[in-house]
Amino acid sequence: MTSPFSSPADGKIQKLEQIARIGVALSAEKDNARLLEMIIDAARAIANADAGTLYILDSDAKNLRFEVIQNDTLKIRINGSDKSGSNLPPPVPLYLEDQPNMDNVSSYAALTGSPVKIPDVYCAEDFNFSGPKSYDALTGYRTQSMLVIPMTNHDNKVIGVVQLINAKDPATSAVVSFSEEQAGYISSLASQAAVALSNTQYIQQLVTNIDEIRLLQESDRELSHKLRDAYLKTEESNRELQAALKKVQLIRIAATGLILLLFIVLGFFLWNRSLLPERKKVPAMAEQRETAGRIFRVQPGKVTSAIYLTGTLEPLSVVNLTSSLNGKVEDIFFRYGEIVSAGQVLLKLVTSQVEVSVREAKAVYIKALERFNQVEKWEESEEVTRARRSLSKTKLTLDSQKQTMDETERLFKKGLVASSEFEWAKQQYQGQLLDYQNVQDEYKATLAKGTGENKQIIRFEMENARTRLRDLEQQLAASTVKAPMPGVIMLPGSALEARDAPRLEKGSILQEGGIVLSIGDLSGFSVKAKVDEVDITKIKVGQKVNVTGDAFPDVTLHGKIRNISSQGNVAQGTGVPSFELKVIIDEIPPAIKKIIYIGMSANMEVLTYERADALTVPVVAVGTEGDRPFVRRLNKDEKGNQAVEKVGVQTGYTTYDQVEILDGLHAGDEVLVGQ
């Protein structure tokens, strides 16, 4: 309890002591998520604020990312580090179309490093507060006073922003403006918090670097062991090679001796050939050399060539469900990963605001329809009838006045009435004539209300009111979200992209047009993969693909390429462009579907070339003369002896050991392989 003799300076000293204690506590906290919550808790306690938000500056994305949101009135405490349980608003961009975003108060504080104090956001004109106002309209909350303080660390860099909302009078709990003194205290706290947060981030980065160094050391040791083993194997291979070379040298010496012996025998034979009996002639030596190679018989067979890729199994197709209105989730009737049927209710939104809008739109439509029905039968309407009755009445009065004037004129000519009386009767008639003309103009104007542009305007108003009512009724009906097709409930995006996507929960705020969730078609599967620019020219839409996986090793799925990206993307750090392709597997036996799940890894064999009845020969059987390929085919001459014939051929696809022959050979032909 404060002493009645205490001075304002004592209160300031107590505040400073409190900030110092908080600074010590912040410096001692090493958990980043807990540290962020402590910063907002401390700032709200010092300023007695009802709500608070903490942003962290993302330099790469050039935005302010929501990290902590607290609101005592709405009983909200959200920590952005808990990705599974939070539904944070989108980040606040620091730049819009390459220009600094000075309309948003938080981005202004981050860009300028200056604090901002707003007494009442609904009266402020310097900044755009459409976001808080929309939030108030959805939740019923009333945002009034606001204090925005940039968090500047010891390097004088802004790393985040603290935003406090609705300061409360300690005595009455009424919402008041933040004082200059409170702004000074919070600025001091924000600076201490920025330093503590930077230190925590530095420590975490240091731990990460140490872990990476440890992994590199382990990898280096493992690589050293492998290099040592490889060196030992190389030494052993060298010893074996040396032994083999010695054997080859011995064989060469022996072969040289045999050749010398052969020449000696041959010379002896030629010298004494006259002593040998005459023998039958044999084929020429050149022909013997031609047939000395291995003979290969040409037979039809299968030739294939493939490119091997990896990817992840995803649904055959994905349908994204979007929200038709701004609202809050009231109930959820599904679980992620659950298989649902078409028409099944998935979630229900709070519709109180939409119901009010529907009733207002219905009232406007009823009035517009009533006016339109009147215009359709305008000549029978009460307003036209009233104008017609007034015109008839005025016409009768005019005729009566005309009769009176004529009678007065007749008596005036006979000298029975004075000229003044005749002039008066004449004036009365002329005045009545003007009244009749005015009423006649009014009658024409009344008739014109139901014709021409007036009638068209009333029709447009009725049609606009009907369209507005129909849209709101559709929004009201869309508040109960149903599955448009059977499939599996997924987070928005593909199997890989959706890992960090926020999950829906009761109370989540949805924006009109935003993606709520996705439904994957499980009647088949699709696989996405990236192809290097070297192989992209070999791949075409419709090519067959065999898909296997480590999780289903005994199963081969058969698919086709559905589409190929026409634009390459360069992966960060590689500098090599790659192109995305999508494989569709639309025929899967029911028994196999039971063992295959979304997200499993898939190995793909893209058959870039396939021919079942191709004629092939070994690569070494094909020679060239100039730029024309040929083979040596074996034929029999007229005497039945084997002869070698050079035959020009047209080659097709070539593998590492075989060449496809498109023309020049037939099944059963024999070709010579080697010399």
DSSP states along 387-422: HHHHHHHHHHHHHHHHHHHHHHHHHHHTTSS-HHHH
Q: With contact defined as beta carbons under 8 Å apart, do 496 and 279 qualify?
A: no
Measured in degrees and rounded to the nearest 5, phi and psi for residue 431 equal: -65, -40
Mean pLDDT of the chain: 82
Side chain identity, residue 346: L
Q: With contact defined as beta carbons under 8 Å apart, do 67 and 36 qualify?
A: yes
Stretch 437-459: mean pLDDT: 85
Residue 352: its pLDDT value, please? 78
Please give the span between the terminal C-alpha atoms of the chain, in angstroms, as a whole number. Answer: 111
Q: How far apart are CA 515 and CA 608, in angstroms?
A: 38
Q: How far apart are CA 281 and CA 357, in angstroms?
A: 114
Measured in degrees and rounded to the nearest 5, phi and psi for residue 268 equal: -65, -40
Residue 284: its pLDDT value, please? 34
In three-state secondary structure terms, 47 is helix
Query: Quick check: 254 pLDDT over 90?
Result: no
Residue 14: its pLDDT value, please? 64
Stretch 365-390: mean pLDDT: 85
| Comparison of pLDDT for 133 and 510, the residue scoring more | 133
Tokens 């405490």 found at: 77
Tell me the helices (H) and strands (E) count for the chain, helix number first: 11, 32
Q: State both tokens at 17.
A: 């002591």
Q: How far apart are CA 194 and CA 151, in angstroms?
A: 5
- Condensed to tens digits (0 to 9), the pLDDT of residues 1-39 reads 443 333 455 556 666 666 767 766 666 677 778 888 888
In three-state secondary structure terms, 7 is coil
Residue 1: its pLDDT value, please? 40
- Condensed to tens digits (0 to 9), the pLDDT of residues 34-87 reads 888 888 998 999 999 999 999 999 988 899 999 999 999 999 998 876 654 456
Residue 13: its pLDDT value, please? 62
Residue 283: its pLDDT value, please? 39
Q: How far apart are CA 397 and CA 324, in angstroms?
A: 64
Query: Quick check: 199 pLDDT over 70?
Result: yes
Q: How far apart are CA 76 and CA 37, in angstroms?
A: 13
Query: Picking from 98-102, 152-156, 206-210, which range would have the lowest pLDDT averaged per residue?
Result: 206-210
Q: State both tokens at 554.
A: 């005994």
Comparing C-alpha atoms, which of 334, 332, 313 is closest to residue 519? 334
Residue 10: its pLDDT value, please? 54
Q: How far apart are CA 528 and CA 539, in angstroms?
A: 14
Cβ contacts of 322 within 8 Å, gap of 6 or more: 513, 514, 515, 516
Side chain identity, residue 496: L
Q: How far apart are CA 482 and CA 516, in angstroms?
A: 12
Query: Quick check: 371 pLDDT over 90?
Result: no
Q: State both tokens at 129.
A: 């507060």
Q: How far apart are CA 490 and CA 467, in angstroms?
A: 34
- Condensed to tens digits (0 to 9), the pLDDT of residues 579-634 reads 888 999 988 888 888 888 888 888 988 888 888 888 998 988 888 888 899 989 98
Comparing C-alpha atoms, which of 516, 488, 501 is closest to residue 329? 516
| b/e code 364-398 from CB counts within 10 Å (16+ = b) | bbeebeeebebbeebeebeebeebeeebeebeeeb
pLDDT band at 511 (very low <50, low <70, confident <90, very high): confident
Q: How far apart are CA 485 and CA 488, in angstroms?
A: 10
- For residue 358, give Cα distances in angstroms to 22, 354, 363, 462, 587: 51, 6, 9, 15, 47
DSSP state of 104: S
Stretch 301-327: mean pLDDT: 84
Name the percent of the chain in helix, strand, coil, to the closest 5: 45, 30, 30
Measured in degrees and rounded to the nearest 5, phi and psi for residue 124 equal: -80, 140
Measured in degrees and rounded to the nearest 5, phi and psi for residue 669 equal: -65, 150
Cβ contacts of 513 within 8 Å, gap of 6 or more: 322, 323
Q: With contact defined as beta carbons under 8 Å apart, do 673 and 621 qualify?
A: yes
The answer for 21, left when phi > 0, alpha when psi is -120 to 50, beta otherwise, is alpha
Cβ contacts of 202 within 8 Å, gap of 6 or more: none
Beta bridge partners of 53: 69, 163
User: CA angle, 308 as apex, 302 and 312 as ends, to 5°?
Assistant: 130
DSSP letters, 93-151, are ESEETTEE--SSHHHHHHHH---EEES-TTT--SS--HHHHHHHHHH------EEEEEE
Q: How far apart are CA 388 and CA 381, in angstroms?
A: 11
Q: State both tokens at 157.
A: 């860099």
Q: With contact defined as beta carbons under 8 Å apart, do 606 and 306 qualify?
A: yes
Please state the length of the chain.
Answer: 675
Query: Picking from 167-176, 470-479, 535-544, 628-637, which range would have the lowest pLDDT averaged per residue?
Result: 470-479
Percent of the chain with pLDDT over 70: 87
Q: How far apart are CA 78 and CA 111, in angstroms?
A: 25
Q: State both tokens at 319.
A: 């349908």
| Comparison of pLDDT for 535 and 227, the residue scoring more | 535
Side chain identity, residue 366: I
Stretch 248-273: mean pLDDT: 71
- CA-based Rg of the chain, rounded to a whole angstrom? 47
Residue 161: its pLDDT value, please? 95
Q: How far apart are CA 36 and CA 661, in angstroms?
A: 72
Q: How far apart are CA 429 and CA 427, in angstroms?
A: 5
Residue 610: its pLDDT value, please? 82
Q: With contact defined as beta carbons under 8 Å apart, do 540 and 595 qualify?
A: no
Query: Quick check: 644 pLDDT over 60?
Result: yes
Q: How far apart are CA 44 and CA 32, in angstroms?
A: 19
Residue 287: its pLDDT value, please? 37
Beta bridge partners of 436: none
Q: How far apart are CA 475 and CA 518, in angstroms?
A: 19
Q: With contact defined as beta carbons under 8 Å apart, do 428 and 408 qualify?
A: no
Comparing C-alpha atoms, which of 495, 498, 483 is closest to residue 313? 495
Side chain identity, residue 152: T
Q: How far apart are CA 237 and CA 239, in angstroms?
A: 5
